[in-house]
Structure 1
Amino acid sequence: MIGGFLRPAFRLLLLAVFAAFAAMMSGCSLFGPTEQPPAPITEATVTPLVVPALEPASEPDQAEAPEPKEPKKPRPPVVRPHKPEPPPPVVAPAPPPPPPAPAPIIVTRTLDRNTTHGLLDSEVQKLDGKVLGRAIDMTADGSGTPRQMIVNLQGFLGIGDRKVGFPWTAFRFTPNAKGAPITITTPPNQLAATNRPKPSASLATPLAAVTAAPAVPPGQMELMDADVERPNGGKVGRVIDVLIDVNAQPQAVVLDVSGIISPDRRAIAANWSALRFIAKDKTLRPLMDLNDAQIKASPTYEADKPIRAVSPAPPPSPVPASAPAPATTAGPSSSAAAASTARTSR
């Protein structure tokens, strides 16, 4: 286009297009008759319609079916390495408690030889230190209290010896003295009267009558050579000595138990407190509760060894029974509360 006008060639092209379009529109008349012959007329026939049976829809091809989505597998739990705990230390079971020790059957007490001394055959001196004689026996009453000491007053070459009983309170004991351990405190004039021969004594008087021991007052008994028995009549032993302390108090009796447990000669020291006296057949008899097992367990008494005096062990104290729980007594208020509770529960 030049100056608003079409070029000649372009105008020719447009004319050719329009001509071709016009030829196409009139093509029917160009290529043959325009009318078609009518279709023949025939009678209508009714043809039954056969409907085929419906077939089940075919399943889609497995290949065409959409693949089902697989469910997501759960993630396995993260297992952290577990450090095994050390096994607990093996604790050895506590050993069973040892069986209780058997109850002791005797009780022992040690006596000091510097403060105790045997009575039998101990020298008895006067206040001036001159030996008067030897102690040969003692008497005691039913309570175990010493009452007399029997002294064998010395004569000349054994002739004229006399057994005289003196009050127990007339003696002083010094166990650790170098001289005589027993001192008589009787005034000299009384001792002189005691030493004088009896008026009835003469050359015709038998020696046995002169040396006979004095009669034991009623309610007393001599200890030496006395048999100590059990309450059931069994024999414990024979008294062969009595141990006296510095206060003139008997501390123990020495018992010869030979032949009771074994044929060997054996002696034991028993506490004076374990000895008691009973009246039987109008005489006093010493008793002690020492059985054979206790005698066997008692230490042997020896003159050159420590003194261990024994006593029967006291019986074990009974275990007090637990007190029963106090009975609860329901008062009027508690009875009313119980009745109210019963009604509420119903």
Structure 2
Amino acid sequence: MTGGFPRPAWRLPIHPLYRICSLHSLRLLLAVAALLTLAALSGCSSLLWGTQQAPIVDATVMPVEPASAPVAASAPEPVESAANEEPGQPKKPRKPIVRPHKVEPPPPVAAPAPPPPPPPPLIVLRTIERSEARTLLDSEVQKPDGKVVGRAVDMTTDAAGKPREMVVNLQGFLGVGDRKVNFPWSAFHFTPSAKTAPITLNAAAVPATTGKSDAVQLPLIDATVERANGAKVGRVIDVLIDGNAQPQAVVLDVSGMVSPDRRTIAANWSALHFVTRDKELHPLIDLSDAQINAAPPYASDKPIRAVSPAPPAAPAVSAAPAASAPPAAAAAPAAASKAVAVSNAQAVR
């Protein structure tokens, strides 16, 4: 021992854990002391300077936008719960969410207009077989014994369209002494299918008187057929006669009417009508240029197709009077429409 307190000859050994705990305690005490010091200083500051107020700032007026219409909250989308999914299973793909769209009603569809009625036919055709009618011009005329005495060259008709006389060119010897003689129409017999002379003259028939007849007559061959307005339709070049000695049709030369080429057509005898003008008969037929153009041509080696103007369309009949009409009256329009339909079919052919 050198001086001071004597040191013991041995020291109690200090465990390292004790040293660590002492160091931590010292640090804790220093931290507590620092906190107390700060608290004391902050209290002194408030006592010295008092409570500090926030600075006053002038308020600025900001424009406020008008509130918009509230937006409707959309329905929450369904979310599949994770609890429904089994562990270890692959996740199922979510189905696409289809939001309903507002479907506008389709615009009103106008009812389709009814189809227009078919145009009325221009002409009506009637087929005449060659075995049922024979041409008059240049047909041989024979006596009952079969001897040919001449040829028919013309016929006359009255205002009602009834044949009155036939003009026969009686032949002489080698063309010498030929003369034209008018015989009453009733003196002849017609056989259209005959291979020889189709016209037979009654042996007892006498020529017609050459004196002027009370009835006005019209020589038909080479007569000009007109429309009611005076326009020319064509020239008569022949007449078709049936086995009952009744005219069935006339052959008209309509060259220059619809084309410059020579063209002939057959017109129904019933389509002709006769008027008296300047004390003479004039044959009329109401065939327009379009109807003449639609008529089939006449040919001596083909069936005869006689044309007539189509009748005017019948006015529409309301349903109420038709329902109250008696059966006989209702059947008449039906029969008329059937006849027109047949005529239309023939015109198309």
**Letter in structure 2 aligned against 1:260:** M
1:260 CA drift (Å): 1.0
In structure 2, the residue matched to 1:123 is 140
**What's the secondary structure of 2:293's corresponding residue?**
helix
**Letter in structure 2 aligned against 1:221:** L
In structure 1, the residue matched to 2:329 is none
Change (3 A) 1:236 1:215: farther
Q: Which whole-Å CA distance do the structure 1 matches of 2:304 and 2:290 have between them? A: 20
In structure 1, the residue matched to 2:299 is 302
Q: Which whole-Å CA distance do the structure 2 matches of 1:254 and 1:177 have between them? A: 21
In structure 1, the residue matched to 2:179 is 162
Q: Which whole-Å CA distance do the structure 1 matches of 2:239 and 2:286 have between them? A: 18
Does the 8 A contact of 1:125 with 1:131 survive in 2?
yes
Q: Which whole-Å CA distance do the structure 2 matches of 1:312 and 1:181 have between them? A: 30
TM-score scaled by structure 1? 0.57
In structure 2, the residue matched to 1:250 is 247
Larger radius of gyration: 1
TM-score scaled by structure 2? 0.57
Q: Which whole-Å CA distance do the structure 1 matches of 2:251 and 2:152 have between them? A: 16
**What's the secondary structure of 1:133's corresponding residue?**
strand
1:323 CA drift (Å): 7.0
1:173 corresponds, among 190, 195, 198, to 190
**Letter in structure 1 aligned against 2:142:** Q
**What's the secondary structure of 2:167's corresponding residue?**
strand
The total of aligned residue pairs comes to 215
Change (3 A) 1:215 1:290: farther
**What's the secondary structure of 1:147's corresponding residue?**
strand
Q: Which whole-Å CA distance do the structure 2 matches of 1:120 and 1:216 have between them? A: 24
| Structural mapping, 1:273-292, within 5 Å | 273-292=270-289
In structure 1, the residue matched to 2:259 is 262
- Counting aligned pairs with the same residue, the percent is 67
Does the 8 A contact of 1:154 with 1:160 survive in 2?
yes
Q: Which whole-Å CA distance do the structure 2 matches of 1:304 and 1:319 have between them? A: 42
Does the 8 A contact of 1:119 with 1:136 survive in 2?
yes
| Structural mapping, 1:1-346, within 5 Å | 99-187=116-204, 217=213, 218-320=215-317
Higher helix share: 2
1:185 CA drift (Å): 1.3
5+ residue gaps, structure 2, are 1-79, 81-110, 322-349
1:101 CA drift (Å): 2.5
Query: What is the root-mean-square deviation of aligned Cα atoms in Å?
Result: 2.9
